[in-house]
Every structure is written in structure tokens, then in C-alpha cells.
Amino acid sequence: MHYFRLIYIIFVALRFGLDDFIHEHAPLRPLRKLIQIVFFWRNRQQPRGIRLRLALEKLGPIFVKFGQVLSTRRDLLPPDVADELAKLQDQVPPFAFAEVQKSIEAAFNKPLSQVYGQFDETAVASASVAQVHFAHLLDGQEVAVKVLRPNIGAVISQDLAILKSLAWLLQAVSAEGKRLKPQEIVEEFARHTEHELDLTLEAANCSQLARNFKDKWLLIPEVYWDYCRKEVMTMQRMHGTPVSQIEVLRAKGINITKLAHDGVEIFFTQVFRDGFFHADMHPGNIQVATEGEYVGHYIALDFGIMGTLSETDKYYLARNFLAFFNRDYRDVAMAHIESGWVPKDTNVDELETSIRAICEPIFNKPLKDISFGRTLLSLFQMSRRFGVVIQPQLVMLQKTLLNIEGLGRDLDPNIDLWQSAKPFLKRWMSEQVGWRSVAKTLKKELPFILKTAPQMPRLVHQLLSQQTRSEQDAPLRASIDELIQAQQKQARWQKRLTLAVLLLLALQLLGLLIVEFKII
């Protein structure tokens, strides 16, 4: 069934004239002539940016999310395209209020008026998977209510099936398939996307992030669990100004430069302190408090996609970042090898030289001209030569890091992501490998140490006994291995002998047929 969806995707792309984006590719020019003849009726009067946005909206949530990611990369996109894609952040056409009411009443099994005291029929934000309405609880508390789009699960399932099929094909036919791990990457993306279809999971993410930032450095709405279901999420209404409205923020006295640097540090705090980060940080999901006790603080919204990192991932990421900051390309190469991101037999000197060739020119440019996104792209291109294995668990982090850089440059063109993050990462690394780390680990493991200390002599004795027996059994294991190899060799010869006998019998049978029926 999803093959029909693939045909529909191609049809929509051609209908909106998206082939204009590939007109520079000479081998495709004859195909474009055919497309223009077949789709002679299409309207190509609108600018290409508008046509791209309309096509993504037509194709649904997966493609809208793709447009959202692209919209943050103004340093890589033409201004006309970036301006139009920015409208995908929270300007996706809403679905009808009748559908909203139907979903809420089905979720709570009671009339809308018995769930909320007042409910605004007009959506304040409409995104690819759900839309948000302001409301009041029965006690008058201001809330924001998020409601899933009708039948959105079926549409997403189809698009994910297409992506999985394409990933399988890429991995099967491409020499790069094993290294890039497209199937694992799509599975990772599918898992995060499917989580967005259960708003109780989003509510749990929201609560966890709020606990991580209980100091209110990053403002997170409170969740009203009694008013949450799989299709409906009710949370505290937040009052703020979208971070993309920079001139409005300036007019309200917000320090934009400080805001940019705070955003970088908040991101790295989520990644390295907590290992739990907001992985959908496009401008439509970020506001700034412009009144009240927390003026100038970020407000985070939409917690459907969150990323997680293991302690090992965090260590090697921080080590790579700090090595880049210090221009220690040897350590960057060693970290890649030790982490398993490149094969163990990689030539360290060659890898170091390649990394230096990419990164060294960055440090000779003004800060405002340094693009982490372009550097990351160059590193990926270099990685093909050395067989760098793409880490699916880091894909969300890479995407979010590009979003953060794009947002930071909109706020302050002179910001340098590297220099803003360096002090934080130095502190974090000192806590991981210094005396603080030892004290922290000892405190965490102390109950286990006290519990197992009386048993330690017996455990050591058992370990030494097992090692002695292992050494005594070594000749026996060697004999068994030789016997197994001999049996395998004998089995191979038996198989060959059987084939030879069958071939001989077949030739004899053929000879009898020739003599009996005088075929020749």
C-alpha cells in the first residue's frame, strides 16, 4: 500500500514544480523536458520557496518536520526559501474545531463543557502532528491543550514504511550502506516520531525536563495529569514572545547577546549534565519570558522528541569538543578510534592530518564567519575515506546541534558556538575525570561496597580457582578444538565425494539413454 504513497509523493513534487531545484544537474535535463510536457497544466507562477512549503504541507507531518529542520539553516539556504520554510514552525493549516471537540470528548468520555470551563475554538499553534488551543479548567486555571490530528497515525505509518523501504534499498545496493546504517537511523527516527503519537509520553518528557531544570533557568510548563490522555495533553499556559521575533524582544529590553549564549549553555547542560535533551528545538518551540519574575529566561514547548545519551557517548563527545577547541587533532583522532567510531586499524597519523586540514582554516576566520554546520558536513565527507561508522544514537544530537547554531546566529551573528561552549565543557570534563568524579562515584557505589566487602575474600578465592582450572583445562580444550576441526574437514570431504558419485551416476544414466534411444 505504501508504494501508492510513494507515487503520490512523486506526483506532488512534480505538481508543485520542485524539479526546479535540480535544474543544474545536466543528466536530468531531458527528464525535466518530459515532466514539463506531462504536467503542462501546473501553476509555476508562485516563487519556488512558496511552492516548496506548500508541497511539504501537502505531503504531511514527516515532510513538514523536514522543512522545519531546513528552516533553521539560513547560512545554507537562499533567503527566499528559508523565509517560507520558517512558516512551517507553527503555521501549518489547523484542522476543524469539530474534530478537536470530538477527540476530547472521546478521550474523556464526557462533554467538552464538563472537562474545561472555557475552550477557545481557534488554534493558537498548529503543527505537523497536533495543534494547541488555550482554555481554562473548571476552577479557572489557564491552560494550553494539545490535541492530535485525526488519523495522523495512519499517515505517519505510511511515510515511515516508505523511508524504511528506501533505507533497506540503500543499505542493500550502496557500498556506503554498512557505514551509514540507514536502517538503524530510520528506526531511531521512527521511534521518536511514534512517541509523538502518544501525548502521555510527551507529558512524561515535559515533567522530567522540568525536574532537571527545577532552578527555573529553563522554564517548563506544569503538566495537569488528570487532564491528559493519549490523544490530549493539558499543561500550564506559558506567557512569552517567540524567540524568532528578535526586534520585539529588543523593544521589551531583552539582552539578545546574553540570550544567544544562554541558549548554547542550556543545550550543553541538557546533553552533558543530564544526558536528556530537547531534540526538536526549532524556533516555533522556543519562547522568551518578557514579564514576571523570570524575564529573559527561555520557555521550552513541545516535548514529543527527546534525545538521550549514555555516559560513554557523553565522555567521547566532550573529549572531541575540547580537543577541537584546543586544536589537538591527535586527540580527536584517538577519541574516534577508542570510541569505535572508526575501525581500530585506522592510521592515526592520516586521520589526524585530514582532521587538521578541515578544522585549521576555521581558526583563521572571524568568529561570525565560522559555521559549525559546514565544518560538520566536511567531517562527514572526510569520514567516507576512513570508514567512520555513523552512530544512530547521535543523529538526533547532530540535528539539534545544527538547530541550535542556526538559532544562535539569528540572535547574534557574531556568536561562536565553540567558544560559548568551551568553559562549560571544561568544567564538565574536570568533574568527570578529576577528584570530584572519584568522590561522586565513591558516594554512589559506597552502599554496594559496604554490602559486598565481607564477601570479597571468598569471591577472590573463587576467581583464582576458576583461573587455575581454566589453565589446567587448556590442553583438553585444544584437543577438542582439533577434533572439531577434523570432523568439519571430514564432513567437507564427504560432501564432495557425494557430489562426485551423484555426477558419475548422472553421466552413466545419460550414456544409457543415448545407447537405448540412439539419441546420437
Task: Give catalytic residues, as residue numbers.
Answer: 280
Alpha helices in 387-434 (DSSP H): 395-411, 417-433
What is the grid cell recorded at 150? 485525526
Q: How many CB atoms lie within 10 A of CB 379?
A: 17
Q: CA-to-CA distance for 438 and 442, rounded, in angstroms? A: 6
Q: Are 340 and 431 in contact (CB under 8 A)?
A: no
Q: Which helix (H) or strand (E) element contains residue 126?
A: strand 125-126
Q: How many CB atoms lie within 10 A of CB 352?
A: 18
Which DSSP state fits 391? -
Query: Between 435-452 and 417-433, two packed helices, what is the crossing angle to 10 degrees?
Result: 40
What phi and psi, each to the nearest 5 degrees, are found at residue 515?
A: -70, -45
Who's near 408: CB < 8 A, 6+ residues apart? 260, 263, 264, 415, 417, 420
Alpha-carbon distances of 253 from 245, 247, 248, 410, 484, rounded to whole Å: 13, 10, 9, 17, 79
Who's near 84: CB < 8 A, 6+ residues apart? 47, 49, 50, 52, 53
Which DSSP state fits 270? I
Q: CA-to-CA distance for 162 and 189, rounded, in angstroms? A: 13
Q: CA-to-CA distance for 323 and 331, rounded, in angstroms? A: 6
